Amino acid sequence: MKLSAIRRLLLTFALSSMLPVAAFAAGTDLPKDLPKELRIGFQKSSVNLTLLKHRQALEQQLKGVKVTWFEFTAGPQMLEALSVGSIDFATTGEPPPIFAQAAGSNLVYVGAEPAKPGVSAILVKPDSAIRALADLKGKKIAIQKGSSAHYHVLRAVQQAGLQWLDITPVYLAPADARAAFERGSVDVWAIWDPYWAAIEQSAAPRILATGKGLVNNLSHYLSARSFADKYPKVIQVLFEELTRSDSFVQKSRDEAVAIIAASTGLDKPTIASFLERRPRSPVVYLTQNIIDEQQRVADNFYQQKLIPKAVNVRDAVWLPPGTKL
């Protein structure tokens, strides 16, 4: 990547701490050895991917490549599919790739979106006696294991001066966790948008803590190393189009709300609330700052014995040819 291109994109994105993706120039020839199929995993929180699916820009850019989309309930399930070769490209929060790497997966980080600390919450019932993070002691907390919510709860427990063993985690996927929370089988639910926005609309739970001051909630893009090494131009095209999707969210909010609502099956007020909390999210290649932050998350999980072995995040970082940290 040429330095001049990096400078231009730094000005465009105003993200001095991140290495932006070089723009894919219109008319540039793609390599002849494109994949026959590009299989993409996404979830309800994947705003840029959801809009990219609707826009069909990949089908226009990658002529002859069959683009197939697979929806997952959460990041850990998505990375299981990536690990066994069922998909080629995925996006999750910070913890799922750490758990996958600890389990021996050959995935690589190929990119990231900026921090979104305000799009996750630890929720209690309106009449709950839980008023402070210290009150989590002895409580049952519904969490998707290995998700951003998992780390959110860990940091909340630590900030309260508690130990992980002081709580009772109940590992449930989002839909099951909501059901358990609503019927009172658990005391607390840690969850991210748009699931948080959805229950806000119907049940008005009380927010014990958002991610602000506790977690960064970066979104990571991941692939198999073999796919990224063989098709770096495909990754480049993906990132350019994902960033265009984010620009669409900022400039055409009402239309974006309608598209995402139709895709997710959630109502427009839920999606509008979610997008209101979501910051601008262009896609960038990884930088040392991003890697260092992810390493801190990994080290914390290992120190708490929540993953079986220490993880070196840098071992799983992929950068396009000619690019250095």
Are 96 and 222 members of one domain? yes
pLDDT tens-digit profile of 127-137?
Answer: 999 999 999 99
In a domain, 322, yes or no: no
Are 202 and 226 members of one domain? no
Are 83 and 138 members of one domain? no
Are 78 and 11 members of one domain? yes
In a domain, 275, yes or no: yes
Q: CA-to-CA distance for 197 and 120, rounded, in angstroms?
A: 9
pLDDT tens-digit profile of 218-272?
Answer: 999 999 999 999 999 999 999 999 999 999 999 999 999 999 999 999 999 999 9
Mean pLDDT of 110-114: 97
pLDDT at 25: 40
pLDDT at 154: 98
pLDDT tens-digit profile of 15-74?
Answer: 333 444 444 344 445 556 799 999 999 999 999 999 999 999 999 999 999 999 999 999
3-state SS, one letter per residue, for the chain: CCHHHHHHHHHHHCCCCCEECCCCCCCCCCCCCCCCEEEEEECCCCHHHHHHHHHCHHHHHCCCCEEEEEECCCHHHHHHHHHCCCCCEEEECCHHHHHHHHCCCCEEEEEEECCCHHHEEEEECCCCCCCCHHHHCCCEEEECCCCHHHHHHHHHHHHCCCCHHHCEEEECCHHHHHHHHHHCCCCEEEEECCHHHHHHHHHCCEEEEECCCCCCCCEEEEEEHHHHHHCHHHHHHHHHHHHHHHHHHHHCHHHHHHHHHHHHCCCHHHHHHHHHHCCCCCCEECCHHHHHHHHHHHHHHHHCCCCCCCCCHHHHECCCCCCCC
Nearest to 125 by CA among 195, 185, 197, 207: 207
Where residue 151 sits, what CATH number does that domain have? 3.40.190.10
Reply yes or no on whether the pLDDT at 118 is more than 90: yes
For the chain, give the longest Cα–Cα distance: 63
Q: CA-to-CA distance for 112 and 220, rounded, in angstroms?
A: 4
Structural domain that includes position 54: 3-115+218-316
Are 110 and 228 members of one domain? yes
Choosing from 210, 228, 261, the residue where a domain stops is: 210
Are 50 and 125 members of one domain? no
Q: What angle do CA 74, 80, 81 make, to 5 degrees?
A: 95
Reply yes or no on whether the pLDDT at 91 is more than 80: yes
pLDDT at 9: 37
The verdict on pTM exceeding 0.75 is: yes
Q: What is the C-alpha radius of gyration for the chain, rounded to an integer number of angstroms? A: 19
pLDDT-based confidence at residue 98 (cuts at 50, 70, 90): very high
In a domain, 96, yes or no: yes
pLDDT tens-digit profile of 161-188?
Answer: 999 999 999 999 999 999 999 999 999 9
Choosing from 184, 210, 236, the residue where a domain stops is: 210
Nearest to 139 by CA among 152, 127, 128, 151: 128
